[in-house]
């Protein structure tokens, strides 16, 4: 299809019309030119295809579909191949349902535990987020169906999400909030990118040329179309100029007319409208030419896949006395309404109409289970009778499993949480059950961290996150040892909300949300601060044991143009088969900028039989060592020694090795009379040129004895001290501290020499 030729045959009105939806979910058809309408659908973890009445908040019913685990859960898998398989399955169902694009993945950073939409986001870490999002996109798009990576960018709160400005400094944006998008775009070319509702540093994402064109297209090479989040358009004409191609849903023609008027009055170049139309059409036809509506959609098989994925996402947070796995013959009490009606997905646009759900109670039908409701989700309470029944059930059983978590209303798209607590009734229930039975396990269903005031009283905690419609099946498989848990926390669980680095500023004042903690998000903050946490980033236990050994680097020293290979052996030293997650972190030993102690730069998941060992290799390139330098507006490695660590979590580092990395980039410099001696002396190239001025200053600060100073006084002011004092002295000090009449010329000459080196 010659898209340019096609666009050249369109009228201005047709082109402008194409730049907004026909309705909630369709792009516009232009029948006279054979342009078909295409349908898009939420996303991200299954289809929410609304056939009849559209809305974007999940109010009206959608077709029966399969709900896979939400990103909060899948992130815990630390498993790229798992995300790819899930993407393939969703891609197949899109083909079956004639959907051109599934609206996801959602890759906003979990800045605070409070964000209502955290359940839909992956992690507090940009590397983990980017890797898993890319793997998911790879899977979906392998089926010739598009994705829409969202919400671009810095949309880490729901509070005032359609008007608030996320004010984020350049380095923080580049290091924390943009890399997941960058990785996905560079590696996988998502067919579309969805811009967010919020403003970024004062400018709506939907009309931000820096974001949508300079960064996304010019720097990263994005080729698809940019679609607005539903209703994210404020000034449509500014949006077209900035690089927003498709407005969704539709503006009833109002904005299309504005585009036409702007072109006619000379305020908008028609070439920009052509550009948007071309981008939209290239995706429309990419789908249309590859549509395979006869692709089967085997929901039963996908239900089982959803269970398999969910099991590999569960994080065993605590397992005292190896209480888990439970014996299949044991009498076990399942307590809590979530055992019967699990919470497995979040509210809002990602809400799926499941064709089936399997609860833990159902999945454990053949086992020796007694059930007590414990609390009622709808009433958010637990009566004395419910608690008494739960205690009695716990007493009569070998072990008690309390199914706890956040009710739907606690976390959802559209608003944020106000605290990090579980419902009080659930906390009370857990305490009562733990008192009645020392073998108490808590299973958690939540999209984001919760406080655990009872943590010292229960023996085991299994974090299931929001595990999709087959979560019950997965939970029972893990509880009873059919699967050894292998998930790791993709975020830190702080002890309490106020420990979180964004706590003082989260949500912002009015429409200004300043991201003042900068790059110190999640473990980047807790580790630098040496703060106690409930569970650290990367933490997750197994039913077997893994040891890491023999870490070796391919070189002791490299330049920032070379890559480094780190190799480590992982051995299953326990008695069961299981999957190990090997995490690799990098830290700069000495840096002139504030940097986290360590940052995740690699991870691999490996399956090992008991006694089996495997080698795992990681390749580290410049980005693994670099920070974003705001002087050159680019990634930069500061020459020096870096530590490469292999760990079980950010707080459980098993091995480390050192490498020297030298920069091949000289930072631009310009010295002025206000530059200080210390900075110039740190610049190896400049020492020689500085010498005449330095000698003069030394003489002024530590005069020779023949000038009247005694030997004793000279010793008292050693050369070392003089230099230390001069370190923070500006060069112009020579004028203030006794330089002779030639001092101004000397200063001028030296600056000239320094700046022409």
Active site residues: 229
Least distance CB 104 / ligand BGC (angstroms): 7
Residue with tokens 């419609």: 469
Least distance CB 449 / ligand BGC (angstroms): 22
As a whole number of angstroms, the distance between CA 236 and CA 663 comes to 44
Least distance CB 151 / ligand BGC (angstroms): 6
In 10 A of CB 504, how many CB atoms?
A: 10
| CA 280, 281, 282, 286 torsion-angle sign | positive
Cβ closest to ligand BGC, residue 50 vs residue 492: 50
In 10 A of CB 505, how many CB atoms?
A: 17
Cβ closest to ligand BGC, residue 349 vs residue 542: 349
Cβ closest to ligand BGC, residue 71 vs residue 734: 71
Least distance CB 105 / ligand BGC (angstroms): 10
Cβ closest to ligand BGC, residue 108 vs residue 440: 108
Cβ closest to ligand BGC, residue 40 vs residue 361: 40
Structure tokens at 330: 């044991």
Structure tokens at 123: 């992690």
Cβ closest to ligand BGC, residue 177 vs residue 230: 230
Bridge partner list, 101:
40, 146
As a whole number of angstroms, the distance between CA 748 and CA 486 comes to 65
Q: Is 590 left (phi over 0), alpha (psi -120 to 50) or beta?
A: beta
Smallest CA-to-CA distance from 756 within 654, 698, 686, 702 is with 686
As a whole number of angstroms, the distance between CA 64 and CA 548 comes to 45
Smallest CA-to-CA distance from 158 within 447, 382, 433 is with 447
Cβ closest to ligand BGC, residue 195 vs residue 462: 195
Least distance CB 233 / ligand BGC (angstroms): 13
Least distance CB 468 / ligand BGC (angstroms): 18
Cβ closest to ligand BGC, residue 22 vs residue 370: 22
Find the angle CA(83)-CA(598)-CA(651) to the nearest 5 degrees: 80
Per-residue exposure over 330-367, b if at least 16 CB sit within 10 Å of its own CB, e if not = eebbbbbbbbbbbbbbbbbbbbbbbeebbbbbebbeeb
- 440 by Cβ neighbours in 10 Å (0-12 / 13-18 / 19+) ranks as buried
| CA 285, 291, 74, 605 torsion-angle sign | negative
Least distance CB 113 / ligand BGC (angstroms): 20
Structure tokens at 320: 């005292």
**Residue 426 φ then ψ, to 5°:** -70, -40
| Pairing between β-strand 564-572 and β-strand 578-588 as defined by DSSP bridges | unpaired
Least distance CB 63 / ligand BGC (angstroms): 15
Least distance CB 103 / ligand BGC (angstroms): 4
Cβ closest to ligand BGC, residue 230 vs residue 535: 230
Structure tokens at 440: 């108490």
Bridge partner list, 415:
412
The site for ligand BGC (CB under 6 A) is made up of 42-43, 56, 103, 150, 229-230, 349
| CA 735, 737, 740, 743 torsion-angle sign | negative
Smallest CA-to-CA distance from 375 within 350, 411, 345, 339 is with 339
């Amino acid at each position: 299809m010659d898209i340019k030729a096609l666009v050249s045959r369109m009228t201005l009105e047709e082109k402008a019309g194409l730049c907004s939806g026909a309705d909630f979910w369709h792009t516009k058809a232009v029948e006279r030119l054979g342009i078909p309408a295409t349908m898009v659908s939420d996303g991200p973890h299954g289809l929410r295809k609304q056939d009849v009445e559209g809305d974007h908040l999940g109010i009206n019913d959608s077709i029966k579909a399969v709900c896979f685990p939400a990103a909060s859960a899948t992130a815990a898998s630390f498993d790229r191949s798992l995300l790819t398989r899930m993407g393939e399955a969703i891609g197949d169902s899109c083909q079956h349902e004639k959907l051109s694009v599934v609206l996801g993945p959602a890759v906003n950073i979990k800045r605070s535990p409070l964000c209502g939409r955290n359940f839909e986001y992956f992690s507090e870490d940009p590397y983990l987020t980017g890797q898993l999002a890319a793997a998911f996109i790879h899977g979906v798009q392998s089926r010739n169906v598009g994705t829409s990576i969202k919400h671009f960018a810095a949309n880490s709160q729901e509070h005032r999400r359609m008007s608030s400005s996320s004010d984020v400094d350049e380095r923080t944006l580049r290091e924390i909030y943009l890399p997941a998008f960058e990785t996905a775009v560079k590696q996988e070319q998502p067919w579309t990118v969805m811009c967010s509702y919020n403003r970024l540093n004062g400018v709506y994402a939907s009309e931000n040329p820096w974001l949508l064109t300079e960064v996304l297209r010019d720097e990263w090479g994005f080729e698809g179309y940019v679609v607005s989040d539903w209703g994210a358009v404020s000034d449509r004409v500014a949006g077209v100029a900035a690089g927003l191609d498709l407005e969704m849903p539709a503006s009833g023609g109002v904005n299309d007319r504005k585009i036409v008027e702007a072109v006619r009055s000379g305020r908008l170049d028609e070439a920009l409208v052509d550009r948007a139309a071309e981008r939209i059409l290239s995706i429309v036809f990419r789908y249309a030419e590859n549509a395979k509506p006869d692709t089967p959609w085997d929901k039963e098989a996908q239900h089982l896949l959803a269970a398999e994925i969910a099991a590999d996402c569960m994080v065993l947070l605590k397992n005292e006395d190896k209480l888990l796995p439970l014996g299949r013959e044991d009498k076990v009490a399942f307590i809590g309404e979530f055992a019967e009606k699990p919470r497995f997905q979040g509210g809002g646009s990602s809400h799926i109409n499941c064709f089936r759900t399997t609860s833990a109670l159902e999945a454990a039908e053949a086992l020796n289970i007694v059930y007590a409701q414990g609390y009622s989700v709808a009433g958010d309470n637990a009566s004395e009778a419910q608690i008494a029944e739960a205690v009695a059930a716990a007493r009569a059983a070998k072990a008690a499993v309390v199914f706890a978590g956040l009710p739907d209303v606690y976390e959802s798209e559209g608003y944020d949480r106000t605290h990090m607590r579980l419902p009080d009734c659930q906390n009370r229930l857990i305490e009562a059950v733990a008192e009645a039975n020392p073998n108490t396990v808590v299973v958690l269903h939540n999209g984001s961290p919760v406080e655990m005031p009872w943590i010292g009283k229960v023996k085991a905690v299994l974090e299931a996150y929001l595990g999709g419609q087959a979560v019950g099946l997965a939970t029972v498989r893990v509880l009873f040892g059919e699967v050894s848990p292998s998930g790791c926390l993709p975020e830190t669980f702080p002890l309490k909300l106020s420990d979180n680095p964004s706590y003082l500023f989260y949500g912002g004042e009015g429409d200004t949300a300043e991201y003042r903690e900068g790059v110190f998000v999640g473990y980047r903050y807790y580790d630098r601060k040496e703060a106690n946490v409930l569970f650290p980033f990367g933490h997750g236990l197994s039913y077997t044991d893994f040891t890491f050994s023999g870490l070796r680097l391919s070189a002791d020293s490299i330049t920032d143009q070379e890559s480094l290979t780190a190799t480590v052996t992982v051995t299953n030293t326990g008695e069961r088969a299981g999957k190990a997650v090997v995490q690799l972190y990098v830290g700069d030993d000495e840096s002139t900028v504030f940097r986290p102690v360590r940052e995740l730069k690699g991870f691999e998941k490996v399956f090992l039989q008991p006694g089996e060992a495997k080698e795992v290799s990681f390749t580290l390139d410049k980005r693994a060592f670099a920070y974003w330098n705001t002087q050159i507006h680019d990634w930069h490695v500061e020459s020096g020694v870096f530590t490469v660590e292999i760990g079980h979590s950010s707080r459980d580092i098993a091995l480390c090795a050192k490498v020297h990395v030298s920069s091949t980039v000289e930072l631009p410099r310009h010295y002025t009379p206000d530059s200080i001696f210390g900075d110039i002396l740190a610049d190896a190239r400049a020492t020689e040129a500085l010498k005449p001025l330095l000698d003069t200053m030394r003489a002024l600060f530590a005069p020779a004895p023949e000038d009247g100073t005694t030997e004793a006084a000279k010793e008292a002011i050693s050369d070392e001290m003089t230099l230390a004092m001069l370190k923070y002295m500006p060069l112009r000090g020579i004028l203030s501290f006794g330089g002779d009449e030639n001092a101004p010329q000397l200063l001028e000459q030296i600056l000239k020499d320094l700046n022409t080196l």
